[in-house]
Amino acid sequence: MPATTGNLLLDALSPEPRNAILALSRAIDLPNRTLLHEQGEAAAHVYFLCTGVASLMVTMAEGGSAEVGLTGHEGVVGAMQLLGKTPTASQSCILIEGTALRIRLDELRAIFLSSEELRGRILEFVQQQNVALEQVAACNRLHEAEQRLARWLLMCRDRSEQDTMTLTQEFMADMLGTRRTTVTLVASSLQERGMISYRRGKVTILSPGELEKAACPCYGICNKALRGLYQPLGA
């Protein structure tokens, strides 16, 4: 078995539950826009991301959509399905291409029920996602588009560990639940002030510190929750 997988949750586990998961997992590539779970679907698989970023989106009956969560190599896409039978209210697709270890949900659930350590780590990740979800819900309602875009770009950077990301204006508008013209104006403003470079669907964060100043306080709260994951047990 490899010394590390690249997935922070798996790498925080002791050998017994970690090796049990790896023995049942399959390594896969995940190109941009790969659909992992449909909205309202009872998922068959769970994905431990090793690289890349997945987006959780909710599409409303009238056709509008907005992002409600991000998952990178810190966690698991489909973790909520381990907690009960209620189908997910969100769709999950790959925002930034990457790789993952895929395992059947029923096989992971068996390990989840038998391993107190795995349950603790999964619940820790789910709690972090819930903190981010609550904060982003308030952010999308109360903060200006520039603050939200700056916050979102930083959250993508944290999870992908990349300064340059393939992100079209159309995709960014879908994620933020706003108009493409709004994203164009805000991205142009951030670029003119030297915080980002945006060209041909690629965003490069040039000054993370300045971008953080442009973001709302929600970024700091979400970042703190992310950085607090997977401390040594008993710490």
Residue 207 has pLDDT above 60, yes or no: yes
CATH of the domain at 84: 2.60.120.10
Q: What pLDDT digit, counting tens, does each position of 44-94 carry?
A: 899 999 999 999 988 877 777 778 889 999 999 999 889 888 777 789 999
Residue 233 has pLDDT above 80, yes or no: no
Sign of the Cα pseudo-torsion (38, 44, 48, 52, in order): negative
Q: Are residues 132 and 23 in the same domain?
A: yes
End-of-domain residue from the set 139, 157, 188: 139
Note whether residue 115 is domain-resident.
yes
Residue 1 has pLDDT above 50, yes or no: no
Note whether residue 220 is domain-resident.
no
- Compare 235 and 84 and report the one with higher pLDDT: 84
Q: Are residues 120 and 16 in the same domain?
A: yes
End-of-domain residue from the set 90, 112, 139: 139
Q: Are residues 47 and 127 in the same domain?
A: yes
Q: Are residues 27 and 128 in the same domain?
A: yes
Read off the DSSP letter of residue 143.
Answer: S
Which residues constitute the domain of residue 202? 144-215
Using DSSP, state whether 14 is helix, strand or coil: coil
End-of-domain residue from the set 95, 112, 139: 139
Q: Are residues 49 and 70 in the same domain?
A: yes
Sign of the Cα pseudo-torsion (9, 132, 35, 199, in order): negative
Q: Are residues 121 and 159 in the same domain?
A: no
Q: Are residues 41 and 119 in the same domain?
A: yes
Using DSSP, state whether 115 is helix, strand or coil: coil
* Overall number of domains in the chain: 2
Note whether residue 3 is domain-resident.
no
Q: What pLDDT digit, counting tens, does each position of 154-177 carry?
A: 999 999 999 999 988 887 887 777
pTM value? 0.92
Strands 202-205 and 164-166: antiparallel
Burial, 208: exposed, middle or buried (Cβ in 10 Å; 0-12, 13-18, 19+)?
Answer: middle
Q: What tokens were used for 208?
A: 């993370």
Q: What percent of the chain has pLDDT over 90?
A: 69
Q: Are residues 170 and 201 in the same domain?
A: yes
Q: What pLDDT digit, counting tens, does each position of 112-121 carry?
A: 999 999 999 9
CATH of the domain at 180: 1.10.10.10
Average pLDDT over residues 99-123: 96
Note whether residue 56 is domain-resident.
yes
Note whether residue 191 is domain-resident.
yes
Note whether residue 232 is domain-resident.
no
Q: Are residues 55 and 169 in the same domain?
A: no
Q: Are residues 198 and 85 in the same domain?
A: no
On whether the CB atoms of residues 43 and 73 are closer than 8 A, the answer is no
Q: Are residues 16 and 131 in the same domain?
A: yes
Note whether residue 235 is domain-resident.
no
Q: Which pLDDT band holds residue 180 (cuts at 50, 70, 90)?
A: confident
Q: Are residues 85 and 16 in the same domain?
A: yes
Note whether residue 53 is domain-resident.
yes
Q: What tokens were used for 97?
A: 């291409």
